[in-house]
Amino acid sequence: MDEGRREEAIGDFNRFVDTVSSLVVPPHKELHLAMQSLRHLVACRGTIITAPAKK
């Protein structure tokens, strides 16, 4: 996440959450933390502003 590979991290967290959701029983701290990280990454995706390329 810190290296700027947000889309890769979103994919990784999605796979983790999908897999772990079917395997864990409460308490599921790791699943909750992964979901919080996923929410943060997706929210950050919407705040990226890209300047148009100079011609």
Contacts of residue 35, Cβ cutoff 8 Å, sequence gap at least 6: 13, 17
DSSP string for 2-53: TTS-HHHHHHHHHHHHHHHHTT--S--HHHHHHHHHHHHHHHHHTT---PPP
**What pLDDT sits at residue 3?**
65
**What pLDDT sits at residue 36?**
92
**What pLDDT sits at residue 46?**
72
The whole model's pTM is what? 0.61
Profile the chain (55 residues) by mean pLDDT over runs of 10 residues. 76 89 82 89 74 74
Q: Domain segments of the chain: what residues?
A: 6-45
**What pLDDT sits at residue 52?**
74
Taking every pair of C-alpha atoms in the chain, what is the biggest distance, in angstroms? 56
